[in-house]
Amino acid sequence: MRAHGGDDVRPGVGVRGRSRDDAPALRRAFLSLGSNLGERAAALRTARAALADLPGTTVVAASRIYETAPQDVTDQPSFLNQVVCLDTVLEPRELLAATQRIEAAAGRVRTVRFGPRTLDVDILLLEGVASDDPELTLPHPRLWQRAFVLVPLAELWQHARGMPTADVKAMAAELASSQDVSLYVAED
């Protein structure tokens, strides 16, 4: 049987004769979003929409937005932070390149490490992937040290699959007792 354009679509065979076993694997991913320059909430909203528009990607859930004090470089405005859960067929480096394009489209300029930014998109965890590559370390190397990541991640942890076994809610509560994280209330 041929589809429009002559592609083979027999049962068990995908487009162009490729076996369904060769189809890209759908992986669950958790990404953090952060912004402390410009229209912070709008930057997060735009990033969520851009992630949803990535090929083979669906936004499963998004945490509430939190306002957090900057860490490492403290002489800068407070951040808005959020975590999103995705399902994606993108390979790790493809997802990284896509997040960097989303940051660039939001006006992100990398000048000072841990400095102010219009948008920061970090891959925290990617199902079945561990990497010690300096360009893409997974799980994210500071994931378990940051309340601004763990508090929103705890809201979504019920969606975790293929992730490290961790009591994210307990870790988030412990870190939130010493790091400033509060639910964001939009100014009208």
108: domain CATH number is 3.30.70.560
Joined tokens for residue 132: 């010690």
CA-to-CA separations, 172 to 95, 99, 137, in angstroms, rounded:
26, 25, 21
Q: Residue 109 has what pLDDT? A: 73
Q: Find the angle CA(84)-CA(115)-CA(171) to the nearest 5 degrees.
A: 45
Write out the residue range of the structural domain in which residue 175 sits: 23-183
Joined tokens for residue 47: 């990033």
Q: Residue 113 has what pLDDT? A: 67
Q: Which one of the listed residues 27, 40, 48, 117 is annotated catalytic?
A: 117
Contact 30, 125 (CB under 8 A): yes
Instruction: Clarify whether 48 is annotated catalytic.
Output: no
Measured CA to CA, the distance from residue 71 to residue 88 in angstroms comes to: 30
Instruction: Clarify whether 7 is annotated catalytic.
Output: no
Q: Which one of the listed residues 108, 133, 167, 188 is annotated catalytic?
A: 108
Closest CA to 31 of 78, 76, 98, 77: 98
pLDDT tens sequence across 66-95: 999 888 877 778 999 999 999 999 999 999
Domain membership of residue 9 (yes or no) is no
Domain membership of residue 8 (yes or no) is no
Instruction: Clarify whether 53 is annotated catalytic.
Output: no
Residues in Cβ contact with 26 at an 8 Å cutoff, skipping those fewer than 6 apart: 56, 87, 88, 89
Q: Residue 59 has what pLDDT? A: 97
Q: Which one of the listed residues 120, 146, 167, 188 is annotated catalytic?
A: 120
Q: Residue 144 has what pLDDT? A: 83
Instruction: Clarify whether 28 is annotated catalytic.
Output: no
Contact 153, 124 (CB under 8 A): yes
Q: Residue 16 has what pLDDT? A: 35
Measured CA to CA, the distance from residue 147 to residue 117 in angstroms comes to: 19
Domain count, the chain: 1
- What parts of the chain have a pLDDT lower than 70? 1-22, 110, 112-115, 187-188
Domain membership of residue 2 (yes or no) is no
Q: Residue 40 has what pLDDT? A: 94
